Amino acid sequence: VQLQASGGGLVQAGGSLRLSCAASGRFERIGDMGWYRQAPGKQRELVADVTASGSPRLEDSVSGRCSISRDNAKNALYLQLVSLKPEDTAVYFCNADVEEYGLGFYSNYWGQGTQVTVSS
């Protein structure tokens, strides 16, 4: 199972970005999916996550500036960020609980990360 994140880049403060994450490989189903971020010198933190049925949860730091969604048919996860601030600068990672074929339980996977840099 692989998670491929994309969509990061350099953007000015106040701008917006849409991050995407695509899951590939052999698996039965995907459970909860989420976006985390890690700024230089800081711990990785949750940004937002969404259940398999589509219920989102946003952290306070991005509430009102962020929306998370998924397309189960495409095994994809998205994060729309608007009104970006310099403090949003970080590597953004996608994360998913995946049930591989025949195992009967979920394993947790991380994508490789995509850099988001917000200039002031």
Q: Please give the angle made by the CA atoms of 56, 60 and 61, to the nearest 5 degrees.
A: 115
The helix/strand/coil state of 103 is coil
Residue 98 binned pLDDT confidence (cut-offs 50, 70, 90):
very high
The CA distances from residue 25 to 2, 28, 30, 77, 80, in Å, are 6, 10, 11, 15, 25
The pLDDT value given to residue 81: 95
pLDDT in tens, 25-70: 999 999 999 999 999 999 999 999 999 999 999 999 888 999 999 9
DSSP string, 4-32: EEE--EEEETT--EEEEEEEESS-SEEEE
Distance, CA of 30 to CA of 3 (rounded, Å) = 11
pLDDT in tens, 60-90: 988 899 999 999 999 999 999 999 999 999 9
Residue 103 binned pLDDT confidence (cut-offs 50, 70, 90):
confident
